[in-house]
């Protein structure tokens, strides 16, 4: 019984993380200035395909991709395509989802 509960909790946790990941990419698309959304969306597909792909990426690849995404978001903030408050929230999400201690265990 306990194993079934643990498995159900694990599946629920994975679903929540997946939903948050998807919402994070949607948040990026929405936070970017309208004039730049199409171009940014083209780049995001590359990050999203690695971090949200059908197959879980190699942990090193996921960390490297997440760090590249952080750099890309920082660049969008520097060029004023992405606001400071949005950048801070998105940076926190990327760290929590793909670079934090729980993501290192995946």
The whole-model pTM stands at: 0.77
Provide the percentage of residues in the chain whose pLDDT is more than 70: 75
For residue 58, give both structure tokens.
């190699």
Average pLDDT, the chain: 83
Domain count, the chain: 1
Separation CA 15–CA 52 (nearest Å): 12
Separation CA 10–CA 16 (nearest Å): 10
Q: pLDDT band at 104, cuts 50/70/90?
A: very low
Q: Which domain holds residue 68?
A: 2-104
Sign of CA dihedral 91, 96, 100, 106: negative
Nearest to 74 by CA among 96, 54, 93, 90: 90
Render pLDDT for 19-66 as a digit per residue (tens, 0 to 9). 767 689 999 999 999 999 999 999 999 999 999 888 888 999 999 999
Nearest to 66 by CA among 103, 106, 105: 103
Residue 104 C-alpha from the chain's centroid: 14
């Amino acid at each position: 019984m306990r194993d079934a509960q643990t498995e159900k909790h694990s599946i629920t946790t994975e679903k929540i993380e997946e939903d948050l990941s998807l919402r994070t990419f949607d948040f990026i698309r929405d936070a970017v200035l309208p004039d730049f959304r199409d171009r940014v969306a083209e780049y995001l597909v590359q990050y999203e395909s690695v971090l949200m792909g059908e197959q879980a990426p190699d942990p090193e690849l996921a960390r490297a991709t997440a760090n590249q995404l952080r750099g890309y978001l920082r660049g969008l903030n520097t060029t004023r395509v992405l606001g400071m408050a949005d950048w801070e929230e998105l940076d926190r999400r990327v760290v929590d989802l793909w670079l934090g201690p729980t993501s290192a265990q995946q």
